[in-house]
Amino acid sequence: MDKQLDVLQGTLDMLILKAVSLGPLHGYGILFRIQQISRDRLEIQQGSLYPALYRLEHQGWIASEWGESENNRKAKYYRLAAAGKRRLQSETEKWNRMAEVIAGILHTTPEEV
Amino acid sequence: MTLLSRFRSWLRALVRRSRMESEMDTELRFHIEAFAEDLVRSGVPRQEALRRARIEFGGIERAKEECREARGVRLFETVWQDTKYGLRMLRKSPGFTATAILTLSLGIGANTAIFSVVNAVLLQPLSYPQPDRLVALMRSSPAGNQWAISVPKLIVYREQTKVFESIAAYDSAGPGINLTGGDRPEQVKGIHASAGYFEVFGAPIALGRVYTAEEDRPGGPHVAVISDGLWRRRFGADPTLVGRTVELSGDPYQIIGVLGPGFKSDPPADIWLPLQADPNSTNQGHYLRAAARMRPEVTLGQAQAAMKLAVEELRRKFPNWVGPRESATAVPLRDTVVSGVRSALLILIGAVGFVLLIACANVANLLLARATLRKRELAIRASMGAGRWRIVSQLLTESLLLSLVGGALGLVIGFFGLRALLAINPVNLPRIGEHGAEITLDSRVLLYTLLVSLFTAILFGLVPAISPTREDLNATLRDSGARSGGGFRQNKTRSILVVTEMAMALILLVGAALMIRTFEALRSVRPGFDGHNVLTMQMALSGSRFKKTAGAAQMVREVEQRVRAMPGVEAVAGACCLPLTGGPDFPFAIVGRAPVSGSYSGDVQWRNVSPQYFEVFRIPALRGRVFTARDDAGSTPVALINEAMAKQFWQNENPIGAQLLIGHGIAPEFEDAPRQIVGVVGDIRDYGLNNEPAPIMYVPEAQVPDGISALENRLMPFLWAVRTKVAPFSLDTEIQQEVRATSGGLAVAHVRSMEQVVGESTARGDFDTMLLSIFAGVALLLAAIGVYGLMAYAVQQRTQEIGIRMALGASPEKVRKMVVWQGMRLAVIGVVIGVVAALELTRFMAGLIYRVKTWDPTVFAVVAVLLSAAAWLAVYVPARRASRVDPIVSLRYE
């Protein structure tokens, strides 16, 4: 599986929530972590990351504060808010159910119909 | 929680906009640098790493825009930015801005003007408490409703207490009341009203009290209630006035109350006297109006049903009192006030709607032309990350700015323009007050103007705002100049707009032309009388001297003798009525002939006049003779009829010598002896110049039954008409003095020349004609500007092409013809569409026009030619410019 997959519409929010649930991160760090976890199999449009972050913060699912980066530069760190935690949970469940259903459909053979 | 944090984020964003901006900047810069550092670490040179990081990131501005949007402050920020930017853009092209604003203000102003009239006349609730509870009690027949009631019916309807809280009957303040005694006699308007009047209209009482039902009986006390205005003007706002006795038409009346300042009666009045109607009356004259206040839970339908039942009950008891097809109903009081003007106002509303649409089309065209010029600017903005809606909203904001400024200016133009028109041409519209004083700029007019402005902005702004955003960005940016072509679609849009404008202008012009034809037709109508050099005045014949016919006849004879003796006077007459002002009608029977309906042969107009009436108005005797001084109370009762009556009732026979029995059986006091017809006089147009002459019977002033004299003196003013050899107003003062002295000091009022009376009878139609003509003129001008704008723009756009044509041998003549043809083609299409639409729409004007068909071929032909000529002129100027294009210059033109 060499080819990178584009992130499905709507799943970016879930991935961001997951990434910051593992610990506070700045924007670049979030991008980096998602790519790292997915072992570079997912391609995220960098331009679309920040609008998503702003939206999530506006909705109160993540919170942000300014801090120091690894190389002592000013950076904005995002962490999961309580509402975001619940959201991540429900989104994960929904995703799993969905994946199961779709996989079931895709594995259907002619005899099963 | 979520909501709160969302609000907080929004608020923070709003308040600390610039800080958020810089934070966003820092954050994104950090991202790119961190990315670049990673690249450097993997061996890419620093410069190259930064470049690659930026490319990988994508459009930074677009990302920022999306972040702002995500933060939820877009709306506020957008509006603020767009407004600032829009103002700058409008300032940069003052010519465009001024044209657009002026055009819009004309369109919006016309709408404000007409709406403020509609608001005052049709929309404002009546100025009484709970006005929607008020109804007028109507006598109804298949021919329509008549707001008239007789005393016996009032007595019966007054018992409808299940549906009505209170009922009032009152007269129309006809003759005026002479306020005598003291040093200056004055004629004031007074209403005889039944006791329920003040309750029905919720009249506020400022001082004293109003009269009771006990006092409102035959033989009841002489008491009077006066208005706040009269109290202040005549009695110096004396707080001790109540209880004092004043002399009204020679009789003493005790003032028992003063009404509050806000009370406006219809008809306007300053004095209210008890009606004191006889409950046992059998008088069948319908000379009162009745209004009622419905109980709170009663619906209009229930009130109408109750009226119908009441009249049927009356019919059962007294079959002769109710006509065979007569019934009764109740209608909202407001409808009676405005019934005659509604259709004209609605047509004017339609007309100004068209003016506004034309103005919109014009401004839309201007904007489209401008949008083409601004294409590059918009493309750059789009490439910098502005979304499509962002650009649309920017363009709409500019439209909105234009229309709001145009609306504000239109408000001023429309409102004060209308006031000015009303000041020049006072028109007798109900509820607008003196010179339109009641037409006010209330919140409704302001709101209407604002809504019209907003609607206008969307209408003219949306088409141009959407069309450029559809264009291909790259193509536009690659194009070198700002002058990139308008494209087929845009020119098509603009052409459609121009065609529409022409069509609408044509409709308006046809409407105005029909009104002008009507105006001319009315001026050329032969009214049947000569009003030139006739002075008229009114007098209220009240007081004991005029209780009987003899007293009035005696005075009329004296006035005739004395005024006639004055130098410069040719003839003098006293009469119940003037031509064109209408009057009473009575049923009559022709003696010796079988009656046609009931016991009558017909029902025609009645005029009691003194002998010289026909000389004053130069109404010719066609057969027999007119009245002389010898036709007095002691001689044979005689009558004259007019030609229309002779034709209707005698056809080819000779009516002279036949006998009329007038008003037999209506009421004992109206009983008249049979009258011999002694002559036939010429017809006059008595109910407006646009109505065919009605049948009239004339009766000598000295022979009127006493009961009719008393009734007339109570309901109508008495009129004097004097034919002069010189300008009528040069004798005004002397005649007034003589009349006043002879009548024993009665006030003379409403002095007018007969020409003024004629003018007043057509004033409302003239006003409609003037307004419609103004609107049509504006429409013509705007449409011509629209055509000019389109063609001038097209020529400018095609300079290069025209240059090439000319370089290849096209003559200036040919180029000019080409441009003229292209413009005129649109104009002619517009004219044709307009003609078809106008044929449909003018039907609604049928009630306003006279002696001209709604499809009058002359009107349509003249208007089509006029509009085409205007379009040709508008096309010719750019065409000439095109033909003068220098091929060399144009090919270099950029």
Nearest to B290 by CA among B400, B420, B169, B419: B169
Q: Does A39 touch chain B (CB under 8 A)?
A: no
- The list of chain A residues with pLDDT below 50 reads 1-3
- Residue B532, domain member (yes or no): no
On whether both B119 and B211 belong to a single domain, the answer is no
Question: What is the dihedral sign for C-alpha B515, B516, B518, B522?
Answer: positive
Q: Is the pLDDT of residue B232 over 80?
A: yes
pLDDT in tens, B536-552: 999 888 777 888 899 99
Query: Residue B559 and residue B573: Cα distance in Å, rounded?
Result: 9
Q: How confident is the model at residue B183 (pLDDT cuts 50, 70, 90)?
A: low
Q: So what's the pLDDT on residue B487? A: 47
b/e sequence B72-107, b meaning 16+ C-beta within 10 Å: bbbeeebeeebeeebeebbeeeeebbebbbbbbbbb
CB contact under 8 A, A46 and B56: yes
CB contact under 8 A, B57 and A59: no
Q: So what's the pLDDT on residue A9? A: 56
Residues 6+ apart with CB under 8 A from B399: B367, B457, B458, B460, B461, B462, B464, B465
Least confident window among B246-250, B369-373, B769-773, B818-822: B369-373
Mean pLDDT for the stretch of residues B494-513? 92
Calculate the alpha carbon distances from B245 to B223, B303, B370 in Å: 9, 40, 77
Q: So what's the pLDDT on residue B470? A: 54
On whether both B722 and B586 belong to a single domain, the answer is yes
Query: Residue B819 and residue B241: Cα distance in Å, rounded?
Result: 81
- Residue B507, domain member (yes or no): yes
CB contact under 8 A, A76 and B26: yes
Higher pLDDT, B310 or B461: B310
> Best mutation site among A25, A40, A45, A46 for testing chain B: the one with the most B CBs within 10 Å?
A46
Mean pLDDT for the stretch of residues B342-360? 88
Full-model pTM = 0.73
Q: So what's the pLDDT on residue B773? A: 92
On whether both B65 and B99 belong to a single domain, the answer is no
Q: Which contiguous run of DSSP H or E holds residue B604?
A: strand B602-609
Measured in angstroms, the CA of B5 and the nearest CA of chain A are apart by 6
User: Nearest by CB to B67, which of A28, A51, A75?
Assistant: A51
On whether both B183 and B272 belong to a single domain, the answer is yes
pLDDT in tens, B557-566: 999 999 999 9
User: Nearest by CB to A60, which of B5, B24, B70?
Assistant: B5
Q: So what's the pLDDT on residue B584? A: 87
Which chain B residues are closer than 8 Å to A52 by Cβ?
A: 70
Mean pLDDT for the stretch of residues B8-29? 74
Q: Is the pLDDT of residue B284 over 80?
A: no
> Best mutation site among A32, A53, A58, A79 for testing chain B: the one with the most B CBs within 10 Å?
A58
Q: Does B27 touch chain A (CB under 8 A)?
A: yes
Measured in angstroms, the CA of A67 and the nearest CA of chain B are apart by 11
Least confident window among B79-83, B234-238, B518-522, B823-827: B79-83
What phi, psi does B720 have (nearest 5°)? -110, 140
On whether both B312 and B174 belong to a single domain, the answer is yes
Which chain B residues are closer than 8 Å to A48 by Cβ?
A: 63, 66
Q: Which amino acid is at B428?
A: N
Q: Dig out the tokens for B473 from the structure.
A: 């960005």
Asked if residue B599 lies in contact with residue B591, where contact means CB atoms within 8 angstroms, the answer is no
Query: Residue B47 and residue B50: Cα distance in Å, rounded?
Result: 5
Q: Which contiguous run of DSSP H or E holds residue B401?
A: helix B388-424
On whether both B173 and B273 belong to a single domain, the answer is yes
Query: Residue B490 and residue B820: Cα distance in Å, rounded?
Result: 20
Asked if residue A67 lies in contact with residue A77, where contact means CB atoms within 8 angstroms, the answer is yes
Q: Does A72 touch chain B (CB under 8 A)?
A: no
Q: Does B37 touch chain A (CB under 8 A)?
A: yes
Measured in angstroms, the CA of B60 and the nearest CA of chain A are apart by 7
Query: Residue B698 and residue B683: Cα distance in Å, rounded?
Result: 12
Residues 6+ apart with CB under 8 A from B715: B171, B172, B174, B175, B287
Asked if residue B166 lies in contact with residue B272, where contact means CB atoms within 8 angstroms, the answer is no
Asked if residue B405 lies in contact with residue B384, where contact means CB atoms within 8 angstroms, the answer is no
On whether both B509 and B480 belong to a single domain, the answer is no
Q: Does B30 touch chain A (CB under 8 A)?
A: yes
Nearest to B511 by CA among B779, B830, B690: B779
Q: Is the pLDDT of residue B338 over 80?
A: no
CB contact under 8 A, A69 and B35: no
Q: How confident is the model at residue B3 (pLDDT cuts 50, 70, 90)?
A: low
Indicate the angle between helix axes B812-841 and B487-524, nearest 10 degrees. 60
Domain boundary among B264, B298, B324: B324
Q: What's chain B's average pLDDT?
A: 86
What pairs with residue B573 in β-bridges?
A: B721
Mean pLDDT for the stretch of residues B264-291? 87
Q: Is the pLDDT of residue B491 over 80?
A: no
Q: Does B63 touch chain A (CB under 8 A)?
A: yes
- Residue B331, domain member (yes or no): no
Q: So what's the pLDDT on residue A1? A: 38
Q: How far apart are the first and last CA of chain B?
A: 61
Higher pLDDT, B139 or B764: B139
Higher pLDDT, B324 or B104: B104
- Residue B858, domain member (yes or no): yes
pLDDT in tens, B846-855: 888 888 999 9
Mean pLDDT for the stretch of residues B507-527? 91
Query: Residue B877 and residue B816: Cα distance in Å, rounded?
Result: 10
Q: Is the pLDDT of residue B443 over 90?
A: no
Domain boundary among B297, B324, B351: B324
Question: What is the dihedral sign for C-alpha B808, B811, B815, B821?
Answer: negative
b/e sequence B115-124, b meaning 16+ C-beta within 10 Å: bbbbbbbbeb
On whether both B161 and B215 belong to a single domain, the answer is yes
Q: So what's the pLDDT on residue B482? A: 41
Provide, rounded to the nearest whole percent, the portion of chain B with pLDDT above 90: 42
The string of DSSP codes covering B675-721 is EEEEEEE-----S-TTSPPPPEEEEEGGG--HHHHHHHHHHS-EEEE
User: Nearest by CB to B6, which of A27, A45, A59?
Assistant: A59
> Best mutation site among B8, B25, B31 for testing chain A: the one with the most A CBs within 10 Å?
B31
Q: Does B623 touch chain A (CB under 8 A)?
A: no
- Residue B334, domain member (yes or no): no
Query: Residue B850 and residue B521: Cα distance in Å, rounded?
Result: 7
Q: What is the number of other CB atoms lying within 10 angstroms of the CB of residue B262? A: 11
User: Nearest by CB to B70, which of A58, A71, A76?
Assistant: A58
Measured in angstroms, the CA of B78 and the nearest CA of chain A are apart by 17
Q: How many CB pairs under 8 A join A and B?
A: 74
pLDDT in tens, B136-145: 999 988 877 8
On whether both B557 and B682 belong to a single domain, the answer is yes
CB contact under 8 A, A46 and B2: no
- Residue B137, domain member (yes or no): no
On whether both B317 and B446 belong to a single domain, the answer is no
Which chain A residues are closer than 8 Å to B37 by Cβ?
A: 71
Q: Does residue B145 sit in helix, strand or coil?
A: strand
Q: How confident is the model at residue B72 (pLDDT cuts 50, 70, 90)?
A: low
Q: How confident is the model at residue B477 (pLDDT cuts 50, 70, 90)?
A: low
Q: Does A58 touch chain B (CB under 8 A)?
A: yes
Measured in angstroms, the CA of A4 and the nearest CA of chain B are apart by 15
| Overall domain count for chain B | 5
- Residue B332, domain member (yes or no): no
Q: Does residue B570 sit in helix, strand or coil?
A: strand
Q: So what's the pLDDT on residue B476? A: 62
On whether both B61 and B78 belong to a single domain, the answer is no
Residue of B nearest to A59 (CA): B6
Q: Does A71 touch chain B (CB under 8 A)?
A: yes
Q: So what's the pLDDT on residue B197? A: 95
Structural domain boundaries enclosing B632: 541-746
Q: So what's the pLDDT on residue B607? A: 96
User: Nearest by CB to A26, which of B30, B60, B62?
Assistant: B30
Q: Is the pLDDT of residue B488 over 60?
A: no
Q: Does residue B590 sit in helix, strand or coil?
A: strand
- Residue B56, domain member (yes or no): yes
On whether both B553 and B690 belong to a single domain, the answer is yes
Q: How confident is the model at residue B483 (pLDDT cuts 50, 70, 90)?
A: very low
pLDDT in tens, B590-619: 998 888 777 788 889 999 999 999 999 999
Measured in angstroms, the CA of A8 and the nearest CA of chain B are apart by 19
User: Nearest by CB to A28, which of B9, B35, B59?
Assistant: B35
Domain boundary among B34, B50, B70: B70
Domains of chain A: 5-112 (1.10.10.10)
Least confident window among B213-227, B371-385, B533-547, B855-869: B371-385
Provide, rounded to the nearest whole percent, the portion of chain B with pLDDT above 70: 94
CB contact under 8 A, B67 and A57: no
Which chain A residues are closer than 8 Å to B41 by Cβ?
A: none
Q: Is the pLDDT of residue B253 over 80?
A: yes
Calculate the alpha carbon distances from B286 to B152, B155, B171 in Å: 10, 13, 10
User: Nearest by CB to B2, which of A31, A52, A83?
Assistant: A83
User: Nearest by CB to B26, which of A48, A58, A74?
Assistant: A74
